[in-house]
Amino acid sequence: MRGLTIIYRHWFFPLCIALLINEALVKCVHMVHAVAGQTVILPCYTQAISSAYWRYNDSRTVCDIVKGKVYFDEQHSVYKDKVDYFPEELRKGNFSIKLLDVNSAHQGIYTCNFPNTLIPEITYLIVKEVRPRVQKAVFYSGDTRLHAHIFLLFSGVLLGLYSI
């Protein structure tokens, strides 16, 4: 899981400063980079709280964790069967979730909101789509043919040696 959360420095600093002024607390944004099809962990951790509400772009519901139970009732369709959580971690205040098989529709800002006015945990998910690599396939077939030539040449040399 190393390298999953990276702080994106370009807008990390202004955002941290804004929160520092408003809440006298530094809260930073987690950056998660993924390639389409991968599974990512969206982190969220707090102490002495048993509920958290995961939202995408402040509008779509990802899931609701209420008193240690996870609810998907109001979940937006793009998250259907794609959200998993860590049951053992919930009671420790770890509301991190797993987003399976990500695609570009999942790219955006995720907030893990807490009841009362606690500052949410914010994660920016960036999903890179991969295009089929046509050129690489051509290169490989060329490569295989080259190997075949070398093999034939080598066999030819061996046959030549044996026939002496």
Ligand X SMILES: *[C@@H]1O[C@H](CO)[C@@H](O)[C@H](O)[C@H]1NC(C)=O
Binding site for ligand X (CB under 6 A): 1, 41, 45, 57, 86, 89, 94, 96, 108-109
- Count of residues for the chain? 164
The nearer residue to ligand X, 16 or 84, going by C-beta atoms, is 84
Q: Shortest approach of ligand X to residue 109 CB, angstroms?
A: 5
Residue with smaller CB distance to ligand X, 42 or 64: 42
| CB 74, min distance to ligand X, A | 16
Only one residue has tokens 């959200």, namely 83
The residue among 92 and 147 lying less far from ligand X, judged by its C-beta, is 92
> Residues 74-82: contacts with CB within 8 Å, 24+ apart?
78/105, 78/106, 79/106, 82/106
Give least dist CB 108 to ligand X, A.
3
In this complex, which beta carbon is closest to ligand X, that of residue 14 or of residue 132?
14
Q: How far is the CB of 29 from ligand X (least distance, A)?
A: 12
Cα gap 103→107, rounded to integer Å: 7
For 30, the token pair is 């987690």
Contact indicator for 94, 84 with CB cutoff of 8 Å: no
